[in-house]
Amino acid sequence: MTAITLVEAVTQALAYELAHDDKVVIFGQDIGTNGGVFRATQGLQAKFGEERVRDTPLAENMIAGLAVGMAIGGMKPVAEIQFMDFICASIDQILSHGSRIRNRTRGRLTCPMVIRTPSGGGIRAPEHHSDSMEALFSQIPGLRVVIPSSPARAYGLLLAAIRDPDPVIFMEPKRIYRMVKEEVPDDGEALPLDVCFVLREGKDITLVSWGAMVHETLQVAQKLSQQGIEAEVIDVATVKPLDMDTILQSVEKTGRCVVIQEANPTCSLSSEIIAQLAEKGLTSLMAPPQRVTGYDTVMPLYRLEKLFIPSEQRIMNAVKNVLEYV
């Protein structure tokens, strides 16, 4: 079996579902002829035809509205927004219609659509190409928000998202599109949504992260292990709904926690995790939890990008603060 990248795993999952479910259609700007801006859909139009893999104009509101209408009509649309920052043009369709259909019709209709979008910084992109807006979409009732951190999880979680009866925002951290490779069986086996993945067992501190930041977090855990400190690493994966039980169980064991995210800090997912730790896990904590995040500013251009994205050193500093707290 050949090892593949995260973006190749996305292509593999899309191809599997197109081949096995004739209700699945995919569309977005340049996804057909060009295979998408990051080539996530490369070769799919040639294999499945223009009716199933369709290019659209550069019109995010139309793309989301088309997905909502097709999903309500019984199809399983998978739409691509080229960069997450531009999804704001489609929020009315997602918030006012797609996310509310089940509630509005008292369960008579559902909206089984997936909106895929590359997210996050780290590729030297200009403004409006590097945001991480998981917290914004996690605020919307009726939406599920998923962020894979590896090729295997991208494949399994995307399959699960397409098969889910409700709308899913599937954020693909483009910084790691081609950073790691692993063998991913093309067996159609989905991974469970709405659960965290414990990537590394530990007893001394819990490190919680998701998306691209999982990789820096694992590097820090490895360095800590060389110092005799065993960190438990949790990949949140589905950030909405949040599997807080797994995080609380880990903190009950370790007593200490650091949350790492690339997104802006204010009203963010890390804020929610730490708030719930305070509400439900206070008696387990031996030190105040900390978070390592981006900053409350627009993602800077490439010369300062690395200062915005949490580094291993920033994570290590937070870990030491929590471990040394008495």
Torsions phi, psi for 253 (to 5 deg):
-80, -40
**List 20, 97, 128, 129, catalytic entry:** 129
Structure-token match 């699960």, residue found: 160
Name the nearest CA neighbour of 144 among 115, 106, 174: 115
- Residues near 131 by Cβ (< 8 Å), separated by ≥ 6? 84, 85, 119, 120, 121, 299
For strand 238-240 and strand 144-146, is the pairing parallel, antiparallel, or unpaired? antiparallel
Torsions phi, psi for 159 (to 5 deg):
-60, -45
Q: Are 169 and 117 in contact (CB under 8 A)?
A: yes
- Distances 257 to 233, 249, 267, 294 between C-alpha atoms, Å: 10, 12, 18, 18
Q: Are 125 and 83 in contact (CB under 8 A)?
A: yes
Is the previous residue joined to 241 through a cis bond, with omega within 30 degrees of 0? yes
Residue 129 known to be catalytic: yes
Torsions phi, psi for 96 (to 5 deg):
-85, -20
Structure-token match 């997104």, residue found: 263
- Torsion angle of alpha carbons 97, 103, 105, 107, nearest 10°? 120
Q: By CB neighbour count within 10 A (0-12 exposed, 13-18 middle, 19+ buried), where does 226 fall? A: exposed
Residues classed as catalytic = 129
